[in-house]
Amino acid sequence: MTYRIRNVAIAIGLALVAMLLTLFYVVNYRRTVQHSQATVQVYVAARNIAAGTAGTAIAHGTALKVASIPRRSVVPGAISDPNQVASLVLTEPLYAGEQVTLRRFSDLKAEGIIGQLKGTMRAIQVPGDPNQLLAGTLRAGDHVDVVANLTLNADTGGSHAVRIVLRDLTVLQPANAAPSGPGGPGTSVIVAITDTQVQRLYFVMKNADWTLELRPAVDATDSPERLDSIQSVLQSGGLR
């Protein structure tokens, strides 16, 4: 009798354990389903965004909007704050309604010079001698003006005029102060320039003597435009 009671008790105990385990599984499964069905807020593209767009324009403009989606639909790397992409650059297109994920972005420095260009901005490599290019002085991020000495009526011997032809160009890559070949140090710099300014710069490079001048890093201002020739130099003396 005692043996039979013990077996019945063991069976009842095992049944209770199985019931408890089943109940635990069902409750846990229900919680998991409810959690996955809960909605969360994510950032999606408000319109199509082209590759190469700066993250700051995306984060601080109207390119993003908030959308509520089921938690299970959140893609890996989805951002929770637009500032997460502010210092990056978009490397693949984003389409309207698509979730914004860090996987579509890259560090600006990793993109090199092209990551610093947008819109009408272009990069051009400007060759010259070390003095023209301020070799050893310029640093990436500096701003420069272009001063040109232009020949007037060159066919008849002509005269010369000097003026600043372009202002506030950003240096993307400076000239190297160390020797870089037979031509000596500082063979070229790369500057950012608009697609129309480049025409004037190229004309000056091919048809005039020119040099770069370094602008102040803080509170740079520009004097009124002027044109200097032999007459104005002789007449103005020490005019500032």
> Residue 165 has what pLDDT?
92
pTM (two decimals): 0.54
Which DSSP string corresponds to 109-168?
Answer: HHHGGGGG--TTEEEEEEE--TTTTTTTT--TT-EEEEEEEEEESGGGT-EEEEEEEEEE
Three-state DSSP at 240 gives coil
Residue 157, CA distances (Å) to 131, 160, 207 in order: 27, 10, 15
Sorted by where each begins, the domain ranges of the chain are 39-111, 120-218+225-236
> Residue 214 has what pLDDT?
92
Question: What share of the chain in percent tops pLDDT 90?
Answer: 28
CATH of domain 39-111: 3.90.1210.10
Largest alpha-carbon pair distance within the chain?
Answer: 133
Residues of the chain scoring pLDDT < 70: 1, 3, 7-8, 26-37, 108-111, 115, 154-158, 177-186, 237-240
> Residue 179 has what pLDDT?
45
> Residue 54 has what pLDDT?
79
